Structures are given as C-alpha cells and as structure tokens.
Structure 1
Amino acid sequence: MQDIVIAAISKLLAAKKQPNVALVKANLSQPVPMPVIIDVLARFKQNPSDFEKNAAEQTTKPTVQTAHSQSQLDRIEAKLDKLLSLLENK
C-alpha cells in the first residue's frame, strides 16, 4: 500500500506540485487508509531526496505503461473482432 502512496507523491513531484494529503489522496490509483497516506507523507517531508529520485523515474515510466496498455488494448480488440466474426457466421 505504501508503494501506491509513494507513486502518487512521485507523480506530484514530477508535475512540480508540493504533495499534501488532499493531493496525494486525489492521485491514488486505489483506496489507501488515511494513516498510511499520512505516514508516507511524513517520511517524504523528513527526507524528500528519496522521493525526488522516484519522481525522476516516474517521468520515463508513462511511455512504457502507455505502450503496454496499447498492446493490451490491441489484443482485446483482436479478440473482440474474432468474437464478432464468429457471431456473424452463426
């Protein structure tokens, strides 16, 4: 769960935004308990340099994730086309 919060903080840092509880919570990919958010945010405020390294990596990750998502979307579309052609033949 902490990884999700760290990723949200890194995403905010990459966008040049100062992380706070509300922004972090709004940028989470899935629900996380508030104490976990507060704990990770407190660690960020104590040692921001660790999170800034993740922010630098975060700027390169979206292109990889987008390529993976596009590949997955292409496979889903191919399967859907095949199903539609099977239904049309019946």
Structure 2
Amino acid sequence: MQDIVIAAISKLLAAKKQPNVALVKANLSQPVPMPIIIDVLARYKQNPSDFEQNATQVTAQPNKQTEQTQSQLDRIEAKLDKLLSLLETK
C-alpha cells in the first residue's frame, strides 16, 4: 500500500507540484487508508531527497500499468466497433 502512495507522491513531484494529503489522495491508483497516506507524507517531509530520486525514475520509465490499460482499452474499442458494425448491418 505504501508503494502506491510513494508512486503518487513521485508523480506529483515529477509534475513540479508540492504533495499534500488532498493531492496525494486524488492521484492514487486505488483506495489507501488515510493513516498510510499521512505516514508516507510525513516520511517525505523528513527526507524529500529520497522521493525526488524516485520521481526522476518515474518520469524516465514509462508506466507499465498505463501501457497495459491502454492495450485493454484498444481491445475493448475494437470489440465495440465490431458490435456497432454488426448492429448497423441489421
């Protein structure tokens, strides 16, 4: 769970935004309990350099999950196009 919060903070840092609870919560890929968000943010505030290095890595590497999601969306779109074409021919 902490990895998800760290990724959200790194994403915000890469976008040159100052992380806070609301921004981190809005950028999470899945629900995370508030105490975990607060704990990771407190660690960030104590040692921001660790998170900034991670932010550099996040921007340098494409997000594998985003690529998988895009692939799934492409397959769904192709199926939808096929269904629409079948409906139009009837």
TM-score, length basis structure 2: 0.74
1:24 aligns with 2:5: no
- One-letter code aligned to 2:48: P
Farther-moved stretch of structure 1 (4-13 vs 70-79): 70-79
Percent pairwise identity: 84
Partner Cα distance (1:72, 1:37) in 2: 29
SS of 1:56 mapped into structure 2: helix
Partner Cα distance (1:73, 1:51) in 2: 31
2:15 is aligned to: 15
1:50 is aligned to: 50
Aligned residue pairs total: 90
Q: Relative to structure 1, is the Cα distance of residues 77 and 22 closer, same or farther in structure 2, using a 3 angstrom cutoff?
A: closer
1:38 is aligned to: 38
Shift of 1:64: 5.2
Partner Cα distance (1:79, 1:25) in 2: 33
Q: Relative to structure 1, is the Cα distance of residues 60 and 34 closer, same or farther in structure 2, using a 3 angstrom cutoff?
A: same
Shift of 1:62: 2.8
List gaps (5 residues or longer) in structure 1: 82-90
SS of 2:62 mapped into structure 1: helix
SS of 1:31 mapped into structure 2: coil
Runs (4 or more) in structure 1 with deviation over 3 Å come to 63-81
Alignment root-mean-square deviation, CA:
2.5
Shift of 1:61: 2.5
TM-score, length basis structure 1: 0.74
List gaps (5 residues or longer) in structure 2: 82-90
